[in-house]
Structure 1
Amino acid sequence: MGADFLLTVREALKRSPFAGARLMAGAGGLDRQIRWVHILEISTLENLIYGGEMILATGVGFNLDTAHSVRYMEKLIQQNAACLCIEIGPYFHAVPEELRELADRCGFPLILLPHSIRFVDITQDLHSLIINRHHRTLRELESISREFHRLTLTANGTLNVLKLLHKSTSTQLIYRPLNGTPVCYPPLTADKQDQLLASTDACFKEQEAAPSAGADTVPKPYFAAGSQIVLQSIGVLNQNWAYLALICHREPVEFDYLLLDSAALSIAQELLRTRYMEERKLFSENLWVDELLNNRLTDEKQVKAMLGPSLNRYAELYIRVCLIEIGNLHDESLQLQETDAETIRYHLSLLLRSIFEKHGFRLFLTMKNNRLAAIAVDKKNSGKAKARLQSALDALGSLRADDKLRDLKLAVGVGKAYSSLSQVYMSHREAVQALALHSCFRKPALFYEDLGVFQLLALNDTETLRQFVRSYLGAVLDYDQAKGSDLLTTLRIFLDHDGSKQVAAQKLFIVRQSLYYRLEKLKELLGEDFMVPETRLAISVALRAHQMLPPDRSDHIPNRIKNPSG
Structure 2
Amino acid sequence: MTEYVLTVRDVLKRKTFISAKVIAGSKGLSRQVKWSHILETKEFESFINGGELILTTGVGLQLDLSTQIKYLENLIEKNAAGMCIEIGTYFKEIPIELIHLAEKHDFPLIIFKEIVKFVDITQDLHTLIINQHHQMLSQLDTLSRKFIDLSLTPNGILKILQELHHYLQQGVLFITDDSKSYYYPSEIRNIETSIRSFIEESPKENIEPSTFILDNESYVLIPVKGIGQIWGHLCLPIKQLIPNEFFYLILDRAALAIVQILLRNRTIGERKHNMEDKLVRNLLKGRDYEQDDIQTYLPSTSRNMHFRVFIIRMDFPESSISEDDWEEVKLQRSVLIRSLFKRLGFFPAVSSRKTEISVIASFIAAEHLKKDTDRFEQIIQNIVQMKEKSFMDGSKCTFGISRVYKTIDQAKNGYHEATEVLKIQGSHIAKTSFYENLGIYRLLLSLTESGQIEDYINDYLKPVLDFDQKTESDLFTTLCVYLDCNGVKNEAADRLFIVRQTLYNRLEKLEVLLGKDFMEPSNRLALEVAIKAHQLVSIPLDRIYKPVFTLQ
Q: TM-score, normalised by structure 2?
A: 0.78
Letter paired with 1:525: L
1:193 and 2:184 matched: no
Which of 399, 417, 423 is residue 430 of structure 1 equivalent to? 417
Structure 1 residues 340-419: aligned runs within 5 Å = 340-367=325-352, 370-379=355-364, 381=366, 383=369, 385-399=372-386, 402-406=389-393, 409-419=396-406
1:205/1:115 CA distance change after superposition, 3 Å? farther
Taking the TM superposition and a 5 Å limit, the aligned residue runs for 1:4-403 are: 4-21=3-20, 32-39=31-38, 52-58=51-57, 82=81, 85-89=84-88, 112-145=111-144, 148-149=147-148, 151-185=150-184, 187-189=185-187, 192-195=188-191, 198-199=194-195, 201-202=197-198, 204=199, 208=203, 219-224=209-214, 228-248=218-238, 249-285=240-276, 287-295=278-286, 303=294, 306-308=297-299, 315-329=303-317, 335-367=320-352, 370-379=355-364, 381=366, 383=369, 385-399=372-386, 402-403=389-390
Paired with 1:516 and 1:387, the residues of 2 have a C-alpha distance of: 47
Q: Is the 8 A contact 1:317 1:418 kept in 2?
A: no
Preserved contact between residue 327 and residue 370 of structure 1 (Cα < 8 Å): yes
Equivalent position of 1:526 in the other structure: 514
By how many angstroms is 1:263 displaced? Answer: 2.9
Aligned to 1:456: 443
Q: Structure 1 34/370 Cα, relative in aligned 2: closer, same or farther at 3 Å?
A: closer
2-structure distance, mates of 1:344, 1:505: 54
Give aligned pairs, total: 537
Unaligned runs of 5+ in 1: 554-566
Contact 2:429 2:536 in 1 (8 A): no
1-side partners of 2:452 and 2:68: how far apart?
95
Deviations 1:248-290 (A, max 9, x none): 3121121001222233344335434543443342243354333
Measure the CA separation in 1 of the matches of 2:540 and 2:73.
Answer: 82
Q: Note closer, same or farther for the CA distance 1:515–1:103 as it changes in structure 2 (3 Å cut).
A: closer
Change (3 A) 1:486 1:404: farther
The corresponding residue for 1:549 is: 537
1:230 offset after TM fit, Å? 2.0
- In structure 2, the CA distance between the partners of 1:262 and 1:368, relative to structure 1 (3 Å rule), is closer
Q: Distance in 1 between matches of 2:129 and 2:336?
A: 45
Which residue of structure 1 lines up, in the alignment, with residue 504 of structure 2?
Answer: 516
Letter of the 1:290 partner, please give it. R
Task: Give the Cα separation in 1 of the matches to 2:481 and 2:157.
Answer: 60
Closer/same/farther in 2, CA of residues 271 and 496 from structure 1, 3 Å limit: farther
Which amino acid counterpart does residue 363 of structure 2 have in structure 1?
Answer: D
Does the CA-based 8 Å contact 1:288-1:297 persist in structure 2? no
After TM superposition, give the deviation of residue 167 of structure 1 in Å: 4.5
* Equivalence for 1:561: none
Instruction: Summarize the Cα distance change of 1:450–1:207 in structure 2 as closer, same or farther, 3 Å threshold.
Output: closer
Indicate the residue corresponding to 1:495 in structure 2: 483
Aligned-partner Cα distance in 1 for 2:42–2:379: 55
Note the C-alpha offset of 1:152: 3.9
SS of residue in 2 equivalent to 1:452: coil
- Which one of the candidate residues 504, 518, 523 is aligned to 2:492? 504
> How far 1:301 moved relative to its partner?
10
Mapped contact 1:86–1:111 kept (Cα < 8 A):
yes
What displacement does 1:48 show?
Answer: 7.5
1:540 aligns with 2:528: yes
TM-score w.r.t. structure 1 length?
Answer: 0.77
The RMSD of aligned alpha carbons is: 4.5
Worse-matched range after superposition: 242-251 or 461-470: 461-470
8 A contact 1:238–1:398 mirrored in 2 = no
Separation in structure 2 between the aligned mates of residue 400 and residue 528 of structure 1, nearest angstrom: 56
Q: Residue type matched to 1:118 in 2? A: K
What residue identity is the alignment partner of 1:365?
V
Structure 2 residue ranges without an equivalent (≥5): 542-552
